[in-house]
Amino acid sequence: MIRAEGVEKWYPNGFHALRGASLTVNRGEVVVIMGPSGSGKSTFIRTFNALEDFQKGSITVDGLALSNDVRQIDAIRREVGMVFQQFNLFPHLSVLENLTLAPVLVRKRPRAEVELQAMALLERVGIAEQAEKFPGQLSGGQQQRVAIARALCMEPRILLFDEPTSSLDPEMVREVLDVIQALAAEAITMVVVTHEVRFARQVAHRVVLMDEGVVVEQADPESFFTAPRHERTQRFLEQIL
Amino acid sequence: MGTPSFPAKRLPVAALLPLKRLRAQLAPTVADGLLSLGLLALIAWAAVQLGGWAIGRADWAVLQLNSMLLLVGRYPLAEQWRLWLLGALLAAQAGLSWGLLRAWPRADRREQGQLWPRHDRIAAVLITLLALLLPAALGLAGALQGRWWLLAAVLLALRWAAGRWGPGLHRRTLKLLGLLWPLLYLLGFWLIGGGLGLAAVAPGEWGGLLLTLVMASFAMALSFPLGVLLALGRRSNLPLLRWGSVAYIEFIRGAPLITLLFIGQNILGFLLPASISPDRVWRAAWVLTLFAAAYLAEAVRSGLAAVPRGQLEAARSLGLNQAQALVTVVIPQALRVALPTMVGQFIALVQDTTLLSLIGLLDLLGMARGIMANPEFLGHSSELYLVLAVLYWSCCAALGLGSRALERRLDPRSLAGRP
Ligand SMILES: Nc1ncnc2c1ncn2[C@@H]1O[C@H](COP(=O)(O)OP(=O)(O)OP(=O)(O)O)[C@@H](O)[C@H]1O
Ligand SMILES: [Mg+2]
C-alpha cells in the first residue's frame, strides 16, 4: 500500500529532518512507528499524504507515485485519512457536519446518505448522542474519537495516526486506543505513531524504530520489545519501559 | 467603581437587594462613592442644561421645514413611496433578524428562552417612544406620522413573531432566511434607483440620510469581498499577487480619504472620456469602497493569522482542495475572529461618508450645511448639529448592536442547547 524509499527532507530553514527513511506497509497491515522526540516520525508520515514535501527518494501510495502534480496529490489525500495529535476538528461546525463536510464536498455524495453513514460511524465510536454538539463542548477523548470517525467517513484505504493519544488525559487514552484497536481488527491499513507500548504489543503487526531521520529497526512486536537487535533500539526501550 | 480585584471578599452583586446592590456597584468604598456622586452630578447638570435648551431656547422649526430634505434630499415627491416601501421592508427584516438572533439558546443562561429579555424590552419601549414622539414633536403631517408608526409596528411585530416561532424552525430554513439580506439589498438599489419598469431617479437627486446610507451600505457590501480577496492575496505563494496586494493596501492606508476622493472626482474625470466615466456619486462610492477594502483586508488578515495551521492541514488531508478548504474551513473561522474589528471599520466608514460633503455631494452633513447656509435659518446650526449627531450615532449604534448579537450567535460555545 505504501512504499517509501530513501526519503530525504530538508526543512526550509535547512534542517535535514529525513535522511533516507524507507518503509513498506502492506495491505491490511498495522505498523507502529516509535522513536525519540525529534527523530522525524511526524515528518515522515506527513510525507505520505503530501502535507510535507520531500527532496530525494520516492513514495508510492496505493499505486500512485507522489509527485508535485496537484491532482495526483488530491487523489492520494482522498484515499489516505489522517488523525492528528491536536484533533484539529473544525470548531465552527457541529460534530455531524465535521463528518459530512468532505464526503459531500469532495466525493459529491448526497448529504442524506452521508448523514446516515456518519451517524453509524459515530455510533461505532460511541458518541452518537453528541452529533449535534460542537467540538468545543466535548472532552479530549470524545474529540479524538470524532476525528477518527471523520477520517473514516471518507472511506480511506489507509489511516495515518500521529500520536493520537499524546495530548489526552490518562483516563481518556484507553477509550481512543480501543477504537483504533477495533479498526485494526477490520483489516484497515494503518500507520500509527505512538509511545503506547501496550497498544503496540497488542495491535501492531510490525513495530518500527526511527532515529535521526532514518528507520533503524523493524520487527514484529514480540522481538522488537524483547530482543531488539540494534543498540539504538535498546537504548530507546530502556528509556520508555 | 466595582473593581474586580477583590471579588472573593464581596457577595455576588446580583444576590443583594436592589438598594444594596446599587450601593455595592456605585460605592463599594468611600472614595468610589465620592467619584460616583461627582460623576452623577456632572451628568445631571449636563442633562438639565441640554434639556432646558432643547425645550426652551432651541427653535425646531428648521427641522420641521426641512425634514424631508434631510432624510432624502431632492428625491422626487411622486416616487417617495418607493423609499417608504423599502423602509417597511428593512424594518421587517431587521425585526426578523433581531427576533431570530435573540430567540437562539445562548451561553448567557439568564436570558435563555425568554421572549423579551430585559434589554429587548428597553429597546422596544425606546423604539415605540421614538416613533410616537419624534414625528409629533417635529409637527409632521398626520399621514407622515402614521407612516413612522407603521414602520415601528412592523419592526416590533416581526421581532415578536420571530422570537415566538423562530426557535421551532429547521436550521436549513434559518440559513435561507440569512439570504434575505442580500436579496433585500439588491431590491433596495432597484427601488431607490429605479429602472426595470420603475421611473429612474438619477443619483444626483438622492440626498441626505438616504445618500449617506446608500453610500455606506454600497461600500460595505463590496469592500467586504474585496478585503477578503486582498487578505488572501497578501498570504499567497505567488509573489506578484502578494506584492500587488501589499502595495495596494499600504498605498491606500497611507493616503487620507479626502485626497483619494478628490483624485476620484477630478483626475478620473480627466482620464476617462465622459461617456464611460461614472457619475460623480458613483465615482465617490467606488473610492469609498476601495478605501474601506484596504482596511478590511488588514482586519481579515489578523483573523486568518488566528486560525491554527492544523485546520488547513486537517481539511487538506480530508481531500479538500485549497479553495474548498479556505471557503469552508479557514475563512469562516477567520471572519469570526475579525468580526469586531471589521464592524469597527464599518462604523468608521459611516462616519467617513461625511467627507462627501467636502467634494460637494449632498449627503446628510452636506444637506445640513446647505440648510444652514440659507439666510432664513441663520443661527440654528446647534439644532441641526444635535440632530445630525443623534442620527449618525443611531446608525453606528445599530451596527454595533447587530454585530454583538451576531458575535454571540457565531460563538460555538453559545450553541449549547441547539435542537
Ligand atoms: N517546520 C519546521 N521547520 C524546521 N524544522 C522542523 C519543522 N518541523 C519539524 N522540524 C524539526 O524536524 C525534526 C523532526 O520533527 P518531527 O516533528 O518529525 O519529530 P517527531 O519524531 O514527530 O517528534 P515528536 O515525538 O516530538 O513529535 C525536529 O528536530 C524538529 O525540530
Ligand atoms: Mg511528532
Mean per-residue pLDDT, B112-138: 81
Q: Which chain A residue shows the shortest CA-CA distance from B409?
A: A92
Any residues with CB less than 8 A from the CB of A84 and at least 6 apart, and which?
A: A147, A162, A164, B310, B313, B314
* Distance separating alpha carbons of residues B133 and B139, to the nearest angstrom: 10
Mean per-residue pLDDT, B349-375: 89
Could you say which DSSP state residue A66 is in?
P
Q: In this structure, is residue A103 part of a structural domain?
A: no
Range list for CATH 1.10.3720.10 in chain B: 206-414
CA A222 from centre of chain: 22
Q: In this structure, is residue A94 part of a structural domain?
A: no
Mean per-residue pLDDT, B354-379: 87
Mean per-residue pLDDT, B124-137: 86
Asked if A134 lies within 8 A of B313 by C-beta distance, the reply is no
How many domains does the structure of chain A reveal? Answer: 1
Any residues with CB less than 8 A from the CB of A199 and at least 6 apart, and which?
A: A32, A177, A180, A181, A192
* Residue A22 pLDDT: 95
Which chain B residues are closer than 8 Å to A91 by Cβ?
333, 412
Mean per-residue pLDDT, A37-66: 92
Q: In this structure, is residue A104 part of a structural domain?
A: no
* Residue B107 pLDDT: 40
Asked if residue B42 has pLDDT above 90, the reply is yes
Mean pLDDT computed over every residue of chain B: 83
Atom number in ligand 1 closest to CA A13? 4
A80-83 and A2-10 strand pairing: unpaired
Q: Percent of chain A beyond pLDDT 90? A: 82
Q: Are B88 and B147 in contact (CB under 8 A)?
A: no
Helix or strand (DSSP H, E) at B316: helix B309-317
Mean per-residue pLDDT, A76-105: 94
Q: Are A98 and A146 in contact (CB under 8 A)?
A: yes
- Please give the C-alpha separations between residue B15 and each of B8, B25, B156, B355, in angstroms, as whole numbers: 14, 12, 33, 50
> What ipTM was predicted for this assembly?
0.93
Q: Which chain A residue shows the shortest CA-CA distance from B333?
A: A92
Asked if residue B417 has pLDDT above 60, the reply is no
Q: Work out the minimum CA distance from B323 to partner chain A, whole angstroms.
A: 12
pTM assigned to the model: 0.83
CA-closest candidate to residue B333, choices B358, B364, B294, B306: B306
Q: Are B284 and B359 in contact (CB under 8 A)?
A: yes
A142 lines ligand 1 (CB under 6 A): no
Q: In this structure, is residue A109 part of a structural domain?
A: no
* Distance separating alpha carbons of residues B97 and B93, to the nearest angstrom: 6
Asked if residue B326 has pLDDT above 80, the reply is yes
Q: In this structure, is residue A206 part of a structural domain?
A: yes
Could you say which ligand is closest to the alpha carbon of residue A240?
Answer: 1
Per-residue b or e along B57-85, where b marks 16 or more CB atoms closer than 10 Å to that residue's CB: ebeeebbeebbbbbbbbebeeebeebbee
* Distance separating alpha carbons of residues B283 and B268, to the nearest angstrom: 8
Mean per-residue pLDDT, B300-327: 94
Q: In this structure, is residue A8 part of a structural domain?
A: yes
Category of A87 on φ-ψ map: left (φ > 0), alpha (ψ -120 to 50) or beta: left
Asked if residue A162 has pLDDT above 90, the reply is yes
Asked if residue B201 has pLDDT above 90, the reply is no
Query: In DSSP terms, which residues pair with B205 in a beta bridge?
Result: none
Asked if residue A212 has pLDDT above 90, the reply is yes
Could you say which DSSP state residue B263 is in?
I
Quick one: pLDDT band at residue B308, thresholds 50, 70, 90?
A: very high
**What residue numbers bound the domain in which A227 lies?**
2-89+157-240
Q: In this structure, is residue A119 part of a structural domain?
A: no
Q: Are B288 and B352 in contact (CB under 8 A)?
A: yes
Mean per-residue pLDDT, A8-37: 94
Quick one: pLDDT band at residue B15, thresholds 50, 70, 90?
A: low
CATH number of the domain bearing residue A214: 3.40.50.300
Report the SS3 class of residue A173: helix
Average the pLDDT over each of A142-156, B162-176, B251-265 and give the range with the smallest value: B162-176
Q: In this structure, is residue A67 part of a structural domain?
A: yes
The answer to whether the Cα torsion of B253, B323, B176, B303 is positive or negative is negative
Q: What is the CATH number of domain B206-414?
A: 1.10.3720.10
Quick one: pLDDT band at residue B412, thresholds 50, 70, 90?
A: low
